[in-house]
Structure 1
Amino acid sequence: MAGKLTALKIKALTSPGRYGDGGGLWLQVRDADHRSWLFRYTLHGRAREMGLGPFPDVSLADARQQAQTQRALLRAGVDPLARRQEEKAAAAAEAKKKTLTFKEVAQRYHAAHQAGWRNEKHRHQWATQMEAYVYPVFGKMPVDRVGTAEVMKALEPIWHEKSQTAVVQRGRIEAVLDYAKAREWRLGENPARWRGHLAKLLPPRSRITKTEHHAALPWAEVGDFMEQVRASPDLAARALEFLILTAVRTNEAMGAEWTEINTTKALWVIPAERMKGKKEHRVPLSAPALALLDRIRSEQGEVGRYVFPSPRGKKPLSTRACAVLLGRMKRTDFTVHGFRSTFRDWVAERTSFPREIGEMALAHTVGSAVERAYQRSELLVKRAQLMEAWGRFCGQPSGKGEVVPIRGQG
């Protein structure tokens, strides 16, 4: 029967022992100054007990209320001690959330997103540059306390001298803080946002640095250069030749897989995940490009996954392979990426193809959003004619080919 204890009885209880109130509630007495409440119960044949707090901090009425709550849990099939442990763990986790540092959140963001980044170099740079430029400033600060002053302190020292790095770091800080807000680890506006905020405090990069374009081989010299490349037995030379004939980026060419290439349709389909713009790109293959692929097949014998495999065959050839080849050829006056500019200049100066055809061949966005909504076609027929003309031009030493007209192009 509950209600055996009263305030007067409790006051008189000073001898060590346990004194029951009923319903599983007990007063545990060590001496006159040390008394506390216990709730004792049996679950699944096992006797258990849990503390409800010291007396008189927890009054008799409070203790009875707590005991009633625990009995209700037992009737619902819930172990009161297990429930208390779960609540403590949840409270600890919530407290941990509130004290996460910027570095801890950045590391979680990095782990969550790095699988979607295209290359190992980017994943490595993300972490090392954070260590160099951001963490020393506010890496140990709770993420919800990072403000404009901290962001500026990290960016200002490098904004003028290392502008590209600074711009990249600003974007990374913004991404981490957005991630923290989405996870409810911080509130309010993002202090690393550019528009309407840091743009008022820092000069735009365009005002403090000049745009540096990739050095390119003049289009008139492509034929002679291609003759030298074809003479090399290296697989890197075949990759460079393919890159030039298709006007794609280095990582797109090096990652080419045989399953992406349909020689019957003379078409190479690069999946969205390997494209800079994350949009599938279809590349018409010219006769010289198809002949090159036939040569590569015959030289490799049994082909594997990649068109340009590394020596061990499990990965594609390094994206640095073509640059290394240019170094061995003592051609440091232009870059591999510059061949896209060479192609663009040739289209503009040597052909009558519309500008948008050349831009689409380079997988560039063409026109406004409205224009793109109406222009759904990839113009593959015209692009195939353009790539065929480019392939023929690349096979002409000294670049003496005629201007390419657009008559008869459908």
Structure 2
Amino acid sequence: MALKVNKLTDRSVRGFKSKGYYSDGDGLYLVVSGTGGRSWIYRYRSGGARRDLGLGSFLDVSLVDARLARDAAKRAVAAGRDPLECGQSAPIPAPVAPMDPPRPVRVEGRPTLLACWKDYVAAQEGGWRGRKTKAGWMRSIERHAAAIKNRPIDEIDVETVLSVVQPMWLTKAESAGKLRERLERVLDYARVMKLRTGENPALWKGNLNHLLPPRPRLQRGHMPAMPYVQIPAFMKRLADSQGMSARALEFTILTASRETMTLEATWGEIRDDVWELDKSRMKERAFRQPLSVGALAVLEAIRPARVRPNQLIFPGPKGGVMSNMAMDMLLRDLAPGCTPHGMRSTFRDWAGDETHYAREVIEECLAHAVGDETERAYRRSDALRKRREVMQAWSAYCLPGSVSSGA
């Protein structure tokens, strides 16, 4: 059986919290220290001895760059050169105590949940209407079930399913419901393929319905939105609030972005006055958002002395991705009944009622796909210059009398 490579993703790498070695395949490992630090090594053999070549910190070296460095070192080894003796890098000290590596994506003869998930998607995607369905399936496991994706499929039980579904059952009802249904389908697929036996632990009726309360009814239409006439006064109150969640909410409002876009933002995505997001961070479509003076001021206020490309802009208290409830809790205190996502509707109402900007430009500011597939095929530009004017006007409206309004 061929060894699997490129097993990690940027999202999964950020989710590893336990000390240990996490394999990407072909000798590349992410090493998580006891303090939560992350660094890359390439493990190889030279002269019969195992060697570890340090490739740098995850904050400085992206997963893509680590793979390129691994490949370069691999070529050196194949040519009979030892990268360490060539002075390519210094080794990273191994942990004091021996540690078991994490489960591989495939155990010999025992496929993991992720492997079965991908096989199921590959078998079904031909009948799906578009790429968004496949992307939604992969987001479910990478975003909400990353903690269990490398478990052998025959070890998934009720407790395993509950460990990923229960924490968001009441707070993210729609995502939790989709995850449970998708787990049920993949586990059924594994049973049919004779990879596991017994009852389906993700089954709802007669199973999880006895362990989980009824999900809240899905909210239809827009999230609760603040009337835009209240935004200037609210932004003043928000500016007086301390903490990283307050700065994250300011940035989210001033950029009209989704919560996840802000929570996972890194300094490497900021290019002068433009925020560039790869399609893996969006809904399969790369996106650029112009940054207003107000948004740039938020970044400047929290910019570290040393900016590192993969460093989170708005980290949580322990250095990882901030909880998606942090901004919600802050809004619950400052503006009961409003949600961070609802602020996008506030922006849309303001732009539609108070400005003369074209509808397509406003929708582009919200990262919405404009027009049908034919229209989008002919519309190659993302109207960055025009959108810069919109976002600057929004900043001036939100922060009257500040530097963002030109005062």
After TM superposition, the score normalised by the length of structure 2 is: 0.50
Q: Does 1:372 align with 2:381?
A: no
2:270 to 253, 258, 261: 261
Code of the residue aligned with 1:346 in structure 2: it is W
Q: Find the aligned partners of 1:163 and 1:310 in 2 and give their Cα distance.
A: 24
SS at match of 2:294: helix
| Contact 1:353-1:386 within 8 A present in 2 as well | yes
Which residue of 1 is the match for residue 281 of structure 2?
274
Q: Indicate how the Cα distance of structure 1 residues 117 and 274 shifts in structure 2: closer, same or farther if over 3 A, else same.
A: farther
Q: Indicate how the Cα distance of structure 1 residues 257 and 107 shifts in structure 2: closer, same or farther if over 3 A, else same.
A: closer
Q: Deviation at 1:334? A: 0.7
Which residue of 2 is the match for residue 240 of structure 1?
249
Q: Indicate how the Cα distance of structure 1 residues 108 and 338 shifts in structure 2: closer, same or farther if over 3 A, else same.
A: same
Q: Deviation at 1:318? A: 2.2
Q: Find the aligned partners of 1:130 and 1:332 in 2 and give their Cα distance.
A: 39
Which residue of 2 is the match for residue 90 of structure 1?
none
2:313 to 284, 307, 311: 307
Q: Find the aligned partners of 2:233 and 2:368 in 1 and give their Cα distance.
A: 28
Q: Indicate how the Cα distance of structure 1 residues 301 and 164 shifts in structure 2: closer, same or farther if over 3 A, else same.
A: closer
Q: Indicate how the Cα distance of structure 1 residues 382 and 122 shifts in structure 2: closer, same or farther if over 3 A, else same.
A: farther
SS at match of 2:284: coil
Which residue of 2 is the match for residue 217 of structure 1?
226
Code of the residue aligned with 1:258 in structure 2: it is W
Q: Deviation at 1:164? A: 8.1
Which residue of 2 is the match for residue 295 of structure 1?
301
Q: Find the aligned partners of 1:246 and 1:164 in 2 and give their Cα distance.
A: 24
Q: Find the aligned partners of 1:344 and 1:355 in 2 and give their Cα distance.
A: 10
Gaps of 5+ in 2: 1-108, 122-136, 163-172, 196-216
| Contact 1:323-1:336 within 8 A present in 2 as well | yes
Q: Find the aligned partners of 1:217 and 1:355 in 2 and give their Cα distance.
A: 21
| Contact 2:222-2:345 within 8 A present in 1 as well | no
1:333 to 334, 337, 342: 337
Name the structure where helix makes up a greater proportion of residues: 1
1:251 to 249, 260, 269: 260
User: In percent, how many aligned pairs have the same letter?
Assistant: 32
Q: Find the aligned partners of 2:313 and 2:174 in 1 and give their Cα distance.
A: 37
> Could you report, residue by residue, the CA deviation over 1:76-116 in whole angstroms, capped at 9, with x for unpaired residues?
xxxxxxxxxxxxxxxxxxxxx9xx9xxx8867535889986
Gaps of 5+ in 1: 1-96, 136-161, 186-207, 402-410
Which residue of 1 is the match for residue 324 of structure 2?
319
Q: Deviation at 1:184? A: 10
After TM superposition, the score normalised by the length of structure 1 is: 0.50
Which residue of 2 is the match for residue 109 of structure 1?
116
List aligned pairs for 1:16-31, cutoff 5 A.
Answer: none
Q: Find the aligned partners of 1:215 and 1:289 in 2 and give their Cα distance.
A: 23
Q: Find the aligned partners of 1:117 and 1:239 in 2 and give their Cα distance.
A: 24
Q: Deviation at 1:365? A: 1.2
Q: Indicate how the Cα distance of structure 1 residues 163 and 308 shifts in structure 2: closer, same or farther if over 3 A, else same.
A: closer
Q: Find the aligned partners of 1:357 and 1:378 in 2 and give their Cα distance.
A: 8
Which residue of 1 is the match for residue 347 of structure 2?
343
List aligned pairs for 1:112-123, cutoff 5 A.
Answer: 117=140, 120-123=143-146
Code of the residue aligned with 2:385 in structure 1: it is V
SS at match of 2:367: coil
Q: Find the aligned partners of 2:365 and 2:293 in 1 and give their Cα distance.
A: 16
Q: Indicate how the Cα distance of structure 1 residues 369 and 242 shifts in structure 2: closer, same or farther if over 3 A, else same.
A: same
Code of the residue aligned with 1:215 in structure 2: it is P
Q: Deviation at 1:176? A: 6.1
Q: Find the aligned partners of 1:373 and 1:390 in 2 and give their Cα distance.
A: 29
Q: Deviation at 1:344? A: 1.2
Q: Find the aligned partners of 2:157 and 2:357 in 1 and give their Cα distance.
A: 46
